[in-house]
Amino acid sequence: MEFGPYLLLACLEGAVLAAVLALMASGLSLVFGVMRVVNVAHGEFYMLGAVMAWVVTSVLGGGAVINFVAALILAPLIVGALAVLADVTILKRLNYDPERTIVATIGLLYIIQQLALMGYGPEARPVEPPFNTRIALPWVEWGEGGISLYFPWGLSTTSYKLFVIAAAVVLLAALRLFMTRSRAGLIMRATQLDGEMATAFGIPVERVYALVFGAGAALAALAGVLIVPIQQAHYLMGGDALLLSFIVVIIGGLGSLAGTVVAAVLIGMSDGIISVFFTPTLAKIIATLLVALVLVFRPQGLFGVRER
Amino acid sequence: MLKIEGLSAGYGAAPVLRGVNLRAEAGEITVLMGRNGAGKTTLMKAIMGLVRAEAGDIDLDGADLAQLPPHMVPRQGVGYVPQGRRLFADLSVAQNIEVGLGAGPKDAASRRAVRAEVLELFPRLQERMGQRAGTLSGGEQQMLATARALCVRPKLLLLDEPTEGLQPSMIEAIRQVMVAMRDKGLAVLLVEQRIDAVLGLADRVSVIEMGRNAENFSRAELTEPENARRLRGHLGV
């Protein structure tokens, strides 16, 4: 295959990763932005989403589409509820202290991971995609008769991968609308800007924190459900996803949703392209190097606001 | 209206207020004075539940505010204009007002009425509804902070140094709003450092020193030169 079609394929793979990463990192960014909690267990909520998707599809035993839709609804709800429980029983008791909550979420990471190992096992298990039609992609060539389209061998994607990209775009647009247009979003933003003043105007800040922690986990779980037909569910899958999410929110600016999405596209696309043309390891090295550069030259991230 | 008895409060192991008593009546402006660090802002925060009361009662028309969760305090009819305004800087003027209305009346019609009433008091805000609060001038920010507090439809209005750093025309505008609120029957509790701003405005003045009550003056008492001199003595001016 020529370079051009190869690049298109790499971009598509990168876009799928960017879509999933943007969803997951948005949850991490939301939690940090509103609560100032660095949730080290965020990757485990992603893993739980994937595992729950497998559990739901296995238990239901219906058609692939019904199973998947059920997983898409139930897994984020279950994982979100578990996160709310974790918030009320652990983080609230620590008064959301930034340092102590880091240690607490590290503990939560190991608890969730080991419980998943005990209950789900060490195997990687697939979830059947609701649809998976292979779609051949066209490319252009300049011949004697001018520009013409042709279908190079091997240049294809699946309908499910395109669905993942579209679903992430719709969900992120909905999240943005929710944050900027709804009363609940206004309450979250007011809490993010000044929790004490939010309390002084009748906002139950601890309840907002619990819901935000749950919503952040639900977003990670949604990402987990979307990726599991492509990657399979495994109890250790949260580690890499967490690292990439941290890279994305640091580059985008902690707490900035717009920055998170831009950084996810940047990291996802570069990961996809570099992985296809070179190696996945090189992609991770470059992403980590990018974080180091951002931390040195723009510590608040591309879209973050410098703390006064 | 507001009756505080034996209030002790502070931050962690450091007590700031030590058995403070205070009263604020409806239709009166009560001014709280004291030197820096005397505990005036801590007292305001304790009334709002933002600093927990370790001992004592904060009674507002029969409701013990000290026993309520902090977010329930504004719902009892307490509006708060904090020191330094503390607006939600990245939110627009309209959104800041919307946050204030959240602790105000429940039904949409009453909310609309309160919003219109508040904007009538501060017409300049009407022209800035879409502007980010952080980009307003100091005087406009103070107007918005006061408007946000009035959205709660308070019976007790707390203002912590509302004229700090403002130009004279703005100080006069804020002063007129305070007088209008008093005339409407609200209890106004004002923290103020400048004696000249207080004389002629206060119905009573309560001085605290090192977290304890030092002396109280009525409006009539403040007209006597000796009392005015004693008040200046408490403030070290």
Question: Nearest Cα to A255, choosing from A53, A42, A90, A26?
Answer: A26
Q: Can you read off the two tokens belonging to residue A240?
A: 């890499």
CA distance B164 to chain A (A): 19
What are the residue ranges spanned by the domains of chain B? 2-77+154-235, 86-152
Of A116-125, A145-154, B37-46, B90-99, minimum mean pLDDT range: A145-154
Whether complex ipTM tops 0.85:
yes
Nearest CB neighbour to A202, from listed B71, B82, B98: B71
The answer to whether A162 and A33 have CB atoms below 8 angstroms apart is no
**Interface with B, mutate which of A95, A187, A197, A201 (most B CBs under 10 A):** A201
A168 vs A3, more confident: A168
Can you tell me the mean pLDDT for A42-59? 97
Check A201 against B99: CB less than 8 A apart: yes
Mean of the pLDDT values across residues A72-77? 97
Q: Which residues of A touch B89 (CB under 8 A)?
A: 193
pLDDT at A145 over 70: yes
pLDDT of B73 strictly over 90 = yes
Q: Can you give the pTM of this predicted structure?
A: 0.91
Interface touch A190/B91, C-beta < 8 Å: yes
Nearest CA in chain A to B149: A201
Residues of B in contact with A196 (CB under 8 A): 50, 86
3-class DSSP state of B71:
helix
User: What are the pLDDT digits (tens) for B168-197?
Assistant: 888 888 999 999 999 999 999 999 988 887
> Which stretch, A280-289, B65-74, B197-206, has highest mean pLDDT?
B65-74
For the residues A141-170, what does the mean pLDDT come to? 88
Query: Residue A1 pLDDT > 80, yes or no?
Result: no
pLDDT tier, A306 (very low <50, low <70, confident <90, very high otherwise): low
Using a 10 angstrom Cβ sphere, with 0-12 exposed, 13-18 middle and 19 or more buried, the burial of residue B57 is middle
Cβ separation of B91 and A204 shorter than 8 Å?
A: no
Does A308 score more than 60 pLDDT? Answer: no
DSSP assigned state of A160: H
* Count of CA atoms in the C-beta half-sphere (13 A) of B89: 11
Contacts with A198 from chain B: Cβ below 8 Å:
99
pLDDT digits (tens, 9 = 90+) for B18-64: 999 999 999 999 999 999 999 999 999 999 999 999 999 999 999 99
> What is the SS3 assignment for A303?
coil
Strands B28-33 and B204-209, bridge-based pairing: parallel
Average pLDDT for residues A90-109, to the nearest whole number? 96
C-alpha distances (whole Å) from A215 to each of A19, A30, A31, A78 are 18, 8, 8, 11
**pLDDT digits 0-9 by tens, A180-224:** 999 999 999 999 999 999 999 999 999 999 999 999 999 999 999
pLDDT at B22: 96
Cβ atoms of B157 and B188 within 8 Å: the answer is yes
CA distance B228 to chain A (A): 34
Mean pLDDT of chain A: 93
Please name the member of B74, B89, B91 whose beta carbon is closest to the beta carbon of A200.
Answer: B74
Residue in the block written with tokens 């238990």: A59
What is the H or E stretch that residue A258 is in?
helix A257-277
Contact B218, B187 (CB under 8 A): no
A201–B102 C-beta distance less than 8 A? yes
* Nearest CB neighbour to A202, from listed B75, B88, B89: B75
Report the candidate in B227, B213, B187 with the shortest Cα–Cα distance to residue B33. B213
- Nearest residue in chain B measured CA to CA from A190: B88
Per-residue pLDDT at A107: 97
Neighbouring residues of A255: CB distance < 8 A, sequence distance ≥ 6: A29, A32, A33, A34, A192, A304
Share of residues in chain B with pLDDT > 90 (%): 78
Q: Which residues of A touch B72 (CB under 8 A)?
A: 202
DSSP string, B121-143: H-HHHHTTTTSBGGGS-HHHHHH
> Measured between alpha carbons, how far is B96 from A129 in angstroms, rounded to an integer?
45
pLDDT in tens, A11-39: 999 999 999 999 999 999 999 999 999 99
Mean of all residue pLDDT scores within chain B: 93
Chain A residues touching residue B69 (CB < 8 angstroms):
204
What is the pLDDT, as a whole number, of residue B69? Answer: 96
* Maximum CA extent, chain B: 52
Tell me the chain B residues in contact with residue A204 when contact means C-beta distances shorter than 8 Å.
Answer: 69, 71
- Residue A174 reports pLDDT greater than 80: yes
Show me where the domains of chain A are located.
3-297
Chain A CA closest to residue B83: A197
Edge to edge, the sheet with strand B14-24 lists B14-24, B2-11, B53-60, B63-64
A97 interfacial to chain B (CB closer than 8 Å):
no
Burial of A234-245, coded b for 16+ CB within 10 Å and e otherwise, reads bbebbeebbebb
Domain B2-77+154-235 has CATH 3.40.50.10540: no
The amino acid present at B16, given as its one-letter code, is V
Q: Is A40 helix (H, G, I), strand (E, B) or coil?
A: coil
Q: What is the pLDDT of residue A307?
A: 60
- CB B86 to CB A194 under 8 A? yes
Q: What pLDDT does B82 receive? A: 97
**Of residues B13 and B91, more confidently modeled:** B91
Per cent of chain B over pLDDT 70 is 100
| pLDDT 10s digits, A271-305 | 988 988 899 899 889 989 989 999 999 988 888 77
HSE of A247 in the Cβ direction (CA atoms, 13 Å)?
A: 26
Q: What mean pLDDT comes out for the span A47-64?
A: 94
C-beta separation of A152 from A139 below 8 A: yes
d(CA B68, CA A25): 37
Q: What is the pLDDT of residue B156?
A: 97
SS3 category, A95:
coil
Report which DSSP code applies to B167. -
Strand order in the sheet with B204-209: B78-81, B156-160, B187-191, B28-33, B204-209, B212-218
